[in-house]
């Protein structure tokens, strides 16, 4: 663990001490005097400046929900609290005193270990017709029935307006008011825990949104030396960076400690520029790990990084950042390109079944090989990292929403191909992630939407989206206007029950997840007990086993995936096999095959664009 100084007893912002007593602090090192202005009844509280540039005060008789602003000497206007927990009137309104003391019912809940997670990613605003935390609670029983055990929520830091993916948040501590604020999030977390679902929160520590931010008015939160694709980078390695780091680390600790979330997905950590000997991300992961020990429950840290860098999940002692897992985009790109035939943009580096085989065997495809898209070598080896260190998917918010029309795989793939993709995803030795709706073949797009108030900014976003998609050959006129409310409305999940195809796809996902839990060969994410072969350019065989070996004695599972467009005969590895799942079975609205039961082989027929999951009969079978 990195040598972290003891965290201050009281985090920044307005912190309840109980009984109407509060502690307030704000870092403003260039300001000599500051006040907290309670708006009703009108009250001005002078803050005491410390040598560290932090202004503090103890405040009595302040009710929860009281509105307030901060007044800085020499400033032309009062400002919201940069560590505000609640902005009930939006990014420009006053902050609100939030007391996280709630009636929790989750005292006995512990999130599953990361190797057991099945993650379901959702955007609160489009997950339900009402687009709130409370409305999301109504969908949780369906997720439990499906077999997922973790809900990953796209960012909820307060952003301007009511329509946004969440990556334009400007108050990292505040919870989006139009979703239900921090109390709404607490109710959702408690409801998830009551059903055995962990909650992972997507957080953005690489930039702030372009509208409504006030951090720069308080101190040197931004770097004078580094920039990102979205603007100024945070100051994680320059003068005064200790307080900047503390601001974000304490924010994560607040969500884990006070709102009971079980872990975090860190957005685009490759955009965090930090040249210090002790990286901010290593300090963050170590602090969360220590907090997890204090709380008596694990806190997961999952990073998004496009560098194929195994150091993200390596321990700090080995020069790593210490994250528990990271997204493997290569798995998605390899499978997507094989299924769809797309070769533009970053898909130009993929397209062969061998790429998918390597992603399954090694965690990603590029581990130092030359990338045509990047015109350089890309990645390093992840050979020493366990399977639980990689999160894989066939769809997520980026890979759907960053297409010109936000079209899902259901718009491109046949039902048979969607079933094939599900079988590949859910039988791999990695942590699987489903994007909301894919389990029923959702047809509504997930498009990029915003509600910026500045017309010049809105136009700049439109131009930026068109330029970003030029490499894919997508036409500018096909790209929806992010500012149009209709873009947001189109992106909501379809109301009501799924059609027959969707219901069958749901049942297939449920059965795959049941088998994933029940079979030791599938449940244990052992890459060293996984063998991947491609008999030809259209066939993929993935054999997995538990101790003692692949030839027998333990549990065995075999995925036979055919990407061919005609039936194929496949020779099976030696041993007894029983058919567990045929994705072309009539149960999933496929075609009858007339083959079932034990003792399948030594050859088996596979329908076009389909998969068989075979298992070795054993004690766990009925």
* Catalytically active residues, by annotation: 267, 304
Count each helix (H run) and each strand (E run) in the chain, helices first: 15, 29
The two tokens of residue 533 are: 């072969």
Residue 370 vs residues 78, 342, 343, 373, 383: alpha-carbon distances, Å: 53, 20, 17, 9, 18
Using DSSP, state whether 335 is helix, strand or coil: helix
The two tokens of residue 243 are: 């307080």
Per DSSP, the residues of 406-418 read: ---HHHHS-HHHH
**Segments in 325-468 forming alpha helices (H):** 329-340, 353-362, 397-401, 409-412, 415-426, 455-468
Using DSSP, state whether 485 is helix, strand or coil: helix
Query: Which three-class secondary structure string do you get for 178-193?
Result: HHCHHHHHHHHHHHHH
Using DSSP, state whether 145 is helix, strand or coil: helix
**Segments in 519-594 forming alpha helices (H):** 520-523
Strand partners, 361: none
Q: Which residues contact 197 (CB under 8 A, 6 or more apart)?
A: 140, 143, 144, 148, 149, 150, 151
Q: How far apart are CA 531 and CA 528, in angstroms?
A: 8
Q: Are 581 and 607 in contact (CB under 8 A)?
A: no
């Amino acid at each position: 663990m990195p040598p972290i100084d003891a965290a201050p007893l009281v985090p920044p912002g307005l912190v309840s001490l109980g009984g109407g007593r509060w502690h307030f602090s704000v870092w403003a090192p260039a300001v000599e005097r500051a006040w907290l202005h309670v708006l009703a009844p009108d009250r001005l509280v002078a803050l005491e400046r410390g040598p560290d540039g932090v202004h503090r005060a103890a405040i009595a008789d302040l009710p929860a929900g009281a509105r307030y602003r901060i007044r800085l000497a020499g400033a032309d206007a009062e400002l919201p609290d940069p560590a505000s927990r609640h902005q009930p009137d939006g990014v420009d309104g006053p902050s609100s005193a939030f007391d996280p003391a709630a009636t929790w019912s989750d005292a006995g809940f512990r999130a599953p270990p990361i190797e057991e997670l099945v993650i379901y990613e959702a955007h609160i605003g489009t997950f339900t017709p009402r687009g709130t935390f409370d409305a999301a609670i109504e969908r949780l029983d369906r997720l439990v029935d499906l077999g997922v055990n973790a809900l990953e929520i796209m960012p909820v830091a307060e952003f301007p307006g009511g329509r946004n993916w969440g990556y334009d948040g400007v108050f990292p501590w505040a919870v989006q008011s139009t979703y239900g604020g921090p109390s709404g999030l607490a109710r959702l977390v408690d409801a998830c825990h009551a059903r055995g679902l962990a909650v992972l929160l997507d957080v953005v520590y690489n930039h702030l949104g372009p509208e409504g931010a006030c951090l720069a008015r308080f101190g040197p939160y931004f770097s004078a030396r580094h920039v990102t694709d979205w603007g100024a980078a945070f100051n994680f390695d320059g003068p005064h960076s200790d307080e900047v780091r503390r601001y974000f680390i304490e924010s994560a600790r607040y969500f884990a400690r006070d709102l009971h979330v079980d872990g975090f997905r860190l957005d685009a950590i490759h955009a965090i520029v930090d040249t210090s000997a002790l990286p901010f991300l290593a300090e963050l992961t170590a602090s969360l790990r220590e907090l997890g020990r204090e709380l008596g429950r694990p806190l997961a840290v999952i990073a998004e990084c496009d560098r194929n860098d195994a150091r993200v999940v390596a321990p700090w002692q080995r020069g790593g950042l210490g994250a528990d897992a990271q997204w493997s985009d290569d798995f998605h790109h390899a499978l997507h390109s094989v299924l769809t035939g797309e070769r533009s943009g970053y898909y130009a580096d993929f397209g062969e079944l061998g790429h998918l085989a390597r992603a399954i065997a090694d965690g990603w495809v590029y581990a130092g090989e030359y990338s045509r898209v990047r015109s350089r070598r890309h990645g390093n080896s992840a050979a020493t990292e366990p399977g639980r260190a990689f999160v894989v998917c066939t769809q997520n918010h980026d890979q759907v929403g960053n297409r010109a029309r936000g079209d899902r795989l259901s718009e491109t793939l046949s039902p048979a191909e969607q079933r094939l993709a599900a079988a590949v995803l859910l039988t791999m030795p990695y942590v699987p992630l489903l994007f909301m709706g894919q389990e029923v073949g959702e047809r509504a797009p997930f498009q990029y939407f915003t509600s910026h108030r500045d017309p010049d900014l809105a136009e700049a976003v439109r131009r930026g989206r068109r330029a970003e998609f030029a490499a894919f050959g997508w036409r500018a006129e096909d790209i929806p206007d992010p500012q149009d409310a209709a873009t947001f409305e189109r992106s909501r999940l379809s109301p009501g029950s799924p059609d027959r195809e969707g219901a069958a796809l749901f049942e297939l996902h449920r059965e795959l997840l049941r088998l994933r839990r029940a079979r030791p060969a599938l449940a244990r994410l052992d890459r060293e007990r996984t063998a991947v072969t491609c008999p030809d350019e259209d066939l993929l065989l993935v054999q997995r086993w538990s101790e003692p070996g692949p030839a027998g004695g333990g549990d065995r599972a075999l995925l036979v995936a055919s990407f061919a467009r005609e039936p194929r005969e496949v020779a099976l590895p030696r041993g007894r096999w029983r058919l567990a799942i045929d994705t072309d079975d009539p149960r999933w609205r496929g075609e009858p095959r007339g083959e079932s039961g034990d003792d399948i082989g030594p050859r088996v027929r596979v329908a076009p664009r389909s998969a068989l999951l075979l298992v070795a009969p054993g004690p766990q079978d009925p």
